[in-house]
Structures are given as structure tokens and as C-alpha cells.
Amino acid sequence: MKQTILLLTLTVFGLTSWKHKQTTEIRNDFKKYYDQFDVEGSFVLYDPQADKYIFYNQEQSEHTFSPASTYKICNSLIGLETGVIKDENFVIPWDSVTRQNPNWNSDHDLKTAFKNSTVWYYQELARRVGGQQMKYWLDKANYGNADTSGGIDKFWLTGGLRISPKQQIDFLKQFHDNQLPFSQRSLDIVKNIMIAKDTLGYTVRAKSGWGSQDNKEIGWYVGYFEKNDKVYYFSNCIQTADLNNKDFAKARIDIVYQIFDELKILNNIKDSSENILDEFLKHKNQELKNELETNKILERLNGNKYLITGNNDNYLNDSNFNKDLFI
């Protein structure tokens, strides 16, 4: 009897270990995407469906950098959880100091501050949270090295806070799965303001960042693509010593989409054209709400799209209708 129990235990353990084996793929060929912008960097993708990591420059993905504005994800959560800001509509008045980015020179609420990466809003938020509370929540969330040295309103910009590209993925996974030590309300609010792209095919929640470290410019784009029950986490970190690199800002985001195109992940997330058309035909007698909704349906269709107009197609004059979707 004892032998039978031992055999079953070993068998079950072996099957469980085999089923959940994590895999890693190294893609050194992704260097071409960084070379085109004259930047160095690293890229991490995690596919939880396959429990698989894809790395470019894996060694650097374990190196820590200043999070810059990607810290706004955690900063927002802490502000909400401590009650410093009530919700996404909480306004902090502009201090009338003119700054380089014209979008910052006005009152902001949490939504607009996140969208425009308004530094002064989050600096004021951090000052209101205070050093003791900020450190407490950073430790509790296990965010990077949780170092708040360098000033309560500067520690994520020029201070001691550091996080690696791989750690960004770990944080995002816990964020998505509601496993961080924050209320569901706080998590839901931040997930909503994080939406960078929302089509009928998929949703992107992400945050960019730009800072300096060790005489180099540091750029980030981190987040996840989501469609129904599929999710893909990404972390792109780029660096350059050329302060005049005009493509640096766009490189942070463009590299991510180029890699996703090569991996055909967007194709896996998007619905097939046949399913989209079937859905559209079921509601053919219902008038579309507006041109923005039309754009969403068109974005879900893969392949070339041709626009054939009629005499009464007045919607073509609507500024919201995106003619660039057609050849």
C-alpha cells in the first residue's frame, strides 16, 4: 500500500512539473530595431498563455535604471490608496510656473496628468503623500529597490529609485492580476487611466518614461496588450549618449510595435476579419453611433481596405473619420 501511494505521488508531481515548465527565447536579431534609431536597449516580453519569456539583451534586462515617468503607475496607486487624491477626476491647480511642455501649463486631474506625463502634478502628489508613507507603500508593493533617497519629489527622476526591465514585467503581472497590496478600486482607476489604445480588437495599457542616468538618456515603454482572456506583457528600455537624437522619443514605442508585428502577436490578438464582418452584419440595421465607432471596426480588419464612396456619404467630411485606414 505504501509503495502504491509513493508511486502516485511521484507521478502527479512529475506531471505537474512538466505542465508548468517555463521557457525562454533569446532574440539577438531584435538588435536591428534598436540600430535603426541609433540606440542601445533591451526588450522583455512575457506570454502567460505559454508561460514564455522572450528577451533581447537579456543581460541588460536584469540591470536597474531610473523608472522616470513609468513610476507614475505606482505613484497613482499610492496617491489613491492613501486618500491624497480621491479619484481620477481629482484636480491639482497649476502653480503658474511655465514649463517646457505646454501641455503641463494648466490645471490637471489624475487622468490628464497621466496622459500628458505631467511631472509637477505627480511631484505635488508625492509631497502630499510624504516620505514615510511613500516608503511604506513602495516596500509593500516590492517596487524595484524601493529607494526613496534624493528627495520626495525627485527620487524616481534623479534620486535612488531603480527598477530593471524584468522587474517592470513582474510588477505589471501583479498589477494586471490584482495581486498588488492596493484596493480593487485603486487598481481599477489606474487601469482605466493607463489605456493608451482601445480598439474593438485589443486594448493597450502602458506608460512611457524619459530620464537621465550615468550621462545617458533613458527611455521606457512598459505595459501590456489585452484581448479577452489573452494578455502579453512588455518592457522596452532604451539608452543613448546622443542628447540630440531626434528619434529617441518615438523609438521607445515604435520598437515595441515593430517587435510585436514580427512576432505576429497583434494578429493573434485581433479577431479574424470573417468574425468581425459577421458581427457587423448581425447589426446591419442598427446605425453606427459615430465615426469613431466606425474607425474601431475598420481597425479590426486585417489586409488592404479600399474606400468606395457614394453621393450621400456625408460622414466622409467628419473630422473623426480616419481616411488613412484606406489605400
Percentage of residues in the chain having pLDDT higher than 70? 76
CA distances from 311 to 9, 70, 140, 316, 320 (A): 74, 49, 62, 11, 19
Q: How much is the pTM? A: 0.78
Ordered by start, the domain boundaries in the chain are 20-269, 273-325
Does residue 271 have a pLDDT over 80? Answer: no
pLDDT at 5: 42
Reported as a pLDDT band with limits 50, 70 and 90, residue 13 is very low
Average pLDDT rounded to a whole number, residues 11-21: 51
For the question of residue 235 being annotated catalytic, the response is no
- Most confident residue range from 12-26, 216-230, 290-304, 308-322: 216-230
pLDDT at 84: 97
Least confident of 86-90, 263-267, 299-303: 299-303
Q: 288 is written with which cell numbers? A: 453606427
292 vs 27 pLDDT, higher one? 27
pLDDT at 14: 46
pLDDT, tens digit, 9 for 90 and up, residues 237-252: 999 999 999 999 999 9
Does residue 2 have a pLDDT over 90? Answer: no
Which CATH superfamily, name and number, covers 20-269? Answer: DD-peptidase/beta-lactamase superfamily (3.40.710.10)
- Which of 42, 69, 186, 208 is catalytic? The answer is 69
- The neighbouring-strand residues paired with 46 are 53, 233
- 58 Cβ contact partners less than 8 Å away, ≥ 6 residues apart: 24, 26, 42
Pairing mode, strands 216-227 and 230-240? antiparallel
CA distance linking residue 25 with residue 45, whole number of Å: 10
Average pLDDT rounded to a whole number, residues 304-315: 57
In whole numbers, what is the pLDDT of the chain averaged over residues?
86
pLDDT at 325: 64
Q: What is the CB neighbour count within 10 angstroms for residue 36?
A: 13
Reported as a pLDDT band with limits 50, 70 and 90, residue 229 is confident
* Phi/psi of residue 109, nearest 5 degrees: -105, 180
Q: What is the CB neighbour count within 10 angstroms for residue 32?
A: 10
Does residue 136 have a pLDDT over 90? Answer: yes
